[in-house]
């Protein structure tokens, strides 16, 4: 637990620096965070998520993201993919389907 929001954000920023310098293990990439809805909880979570190296993707692009290869360059070093997280915002029209009886 952190004593303040500022302290928690500072801890997340240190994780950002670690990801930027060391990257993420290939076995967990792509690492996707999904935010449901556009309410205060989702917006607060996104605020913290945005402190990390990230790219937002549309829900329709998630299968393509996972289908791509790990993009390892010829010298064996990983490309940008393992140095960032992915975020996806899913709103209620995508979560629920109206069923008529």
Give me 34's structure tokens.
């999904």
Within 8 A by CB and 6+ apart from 34, the residues are 87, 88, 89, 90
Interhelix angle 40-49/5-22, rounded to 10 degrees, is 50
pLDDT by position in tens, the chain (length 101): 999 999 999 999 999 999 999 999 888 889 999 999 999 999 999 999 999 999 999 999 999 988 875 454 445 555 556 899 999 999 877 666 778 87
Bridge partner list, 34: 88
């Amino acid at each position: 637990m952190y004593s303040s929001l500022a302290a928690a954000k500072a801890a997340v920023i240190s994780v950002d620096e670690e990801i930027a310098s060391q990257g993420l293990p290939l076995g967990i990439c792509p690492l996707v965070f999904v935010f449901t809805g556009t309410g205060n909880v989702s917006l607060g979570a996104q605020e913290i998520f945005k402190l990390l190296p990230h790219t937002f993707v549309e829900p329709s692009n998630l299968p393509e993201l996972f289908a791509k290869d790990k993009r390892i360059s010829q010298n064996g070093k990983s490309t940008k993919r393992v140095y960032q997280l992915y975020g996806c915002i899913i709103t209620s029209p995508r979560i629920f389907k109206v069923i008529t009886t």
